[in-house]
Copies of this chain bind each other. A is one copy, B any other.
Amino acid sequence: MLEKRNNIKNKFTFWDSFPQVQKDMIEISHIILTHVNSVPGLLGQALEDTFAVPGKMLRPACVMLFGAFGPDADQKHDELQKIATSIETLHNATLIHDDIIDESSMRHGRPSIQTKYGKHIAVYAGDYLVALSLTLLSENAQSLHSVIADGKTMQNILVGETEQYNNAYNIDISEKEYLDQIKGKTGVLFGLACFIGAYESGTKVTKALKAKKFGEYLGQAFQLRDDILDYTTTSSTFKKPVLLDVKDGIYSGPLIFALQNDDNNHLHELVKMGKDLTQDQLHEIENLVNHLGGVERAQKLADQYTEKALASLKKHWPDNENRALIEQLTGRLLKRQY
């Protein structure tokens, strides 16, 4: 048991400079494992696999960090951990379902659930995590308010996720449309995490809505950064999905911004080839996106969203150690190179 704990702890090096968050994330990992270990059959195995290698757990960390602001932070610490667990299981549900849609064979360097267990288990495993998330939230929330926020957030995420398919092969997609898309896809769940942490630790709704706004900015900056990495990292792990996305007509920030500077239409001609693009042409697109300033523009927007997040944090929350941690985390996420 101790060995298992140590193994899990090793995976949380991201949080080395945040010992309290690290402790919470390890405990949340154990709460998740306790729940999925009780699920029988292939479904249970698939769920254990899902959480065998935890991600960075940024969303539950947001719950705990904003949960440390409220007057009931200490008294509600156990409930907050379970609510944070609920946000992490919901996030993993979206990842599993995204992998079905993208037909991704890998997730976090391991075979995706659908590759290993088939589409039927992947659909149900995602659904099960939504259900588990709901149980964890409703058993630990102080009122229906957080559950209502959860339901509406899920609706917004799904509208956001599908928005990119409505815009498939839309070479004229605007900056605003893209920013709305990443708000739905990533921003609103970060927003929910911050809101729910603040609210469930006893912060008033109006104030907790400021936490939501912070989370949305942070999430948008995070997604911009993620989309940038697709065009700047040399690792093949990162590149494959984005190349496939372009063939499928799904365009992210750097490409969209580069298209706006594509005066001689060369990038347009390439992108329009869609499914017929060769590997060499995809690399040419990658180079053009960098040379036409697409990455630069995306980075500038990521900086702006980070600034908005930090300004909102300073304006609405007390100048204490907890706020300093959130500032530190925000800076770190923006600069991450992996």
CB-CB under 8 A from A281, the residues of chain B are none
CB-CB under 8 A from A134, the residues of chain B are 134, 147, 150-151, 154
CB pair B158 A138 closer than 8 Å: no
- Looking at A12-20, A66-74, A159-167, A229-237, the stretch in contact with chain B turns out to be A159-167
Q: Determine the distance from Cα of A323 to Cα of B40 in the docked complex, in whole angstroms.
A: 38
- Looking at A22-30, A116-124, A272-280, the stretch in contact with chain B turns out to be A116-124
With contacts A40-B159, A134-B154, A138-B148 known, what are 5 further pairs, Cβ within 8 A?
Answer: A40-B163, A127-B158, A135-B148, A136-B151, A138-B151
Contact code string A153-192 (vs B, CB < 8 Å = 1, else 0): 0110111011101100000000000000000000000000
**Secondary structure type dominating chain A contacts:** helix
Taking beta carbons and an 8 Å cutoff, which residues of A are in contact with B? 39-43, 97, 100-101, 119-121, 123-124, 126-128, 130-139, 141, 143-144, 147-148, 150-152, 154-155, 157-159, 161-163, 165-166
Shortest CB distance A317–B (Å) = 28
CB pair B155 A124 closer than 8 Å: no
CB pair B148 A139 closer than 8 Å: yes
CB pair B144 A132 closer than 8 Å: no
CB pair A138 B144 closer than 8 Å: yes
Q: Which of B137, B150, B162 contacts A121 (CB 8 A)?
A: B162
Q: Determine the distance from Cα of A139 to Cα of B157 in the docked complex, in whole angstroms.
A: 19
CB-CB under 8 A from A147, the residues of chain B are 134, 138, 144, 147
Q: Which of B41, B97, B132, B155 contacts A155 (CB 8 A)?
A: B132
CB pair B166 A41 closer than 8 Å: yes
Q: Determine the distance from Cα of A139 to Cα of B152 in the docked complex, in whole angstroms.
A: 10
Shortest CB distance A143–B (Å) = 7
CB pair B161 A41 closer than 8 Å: no
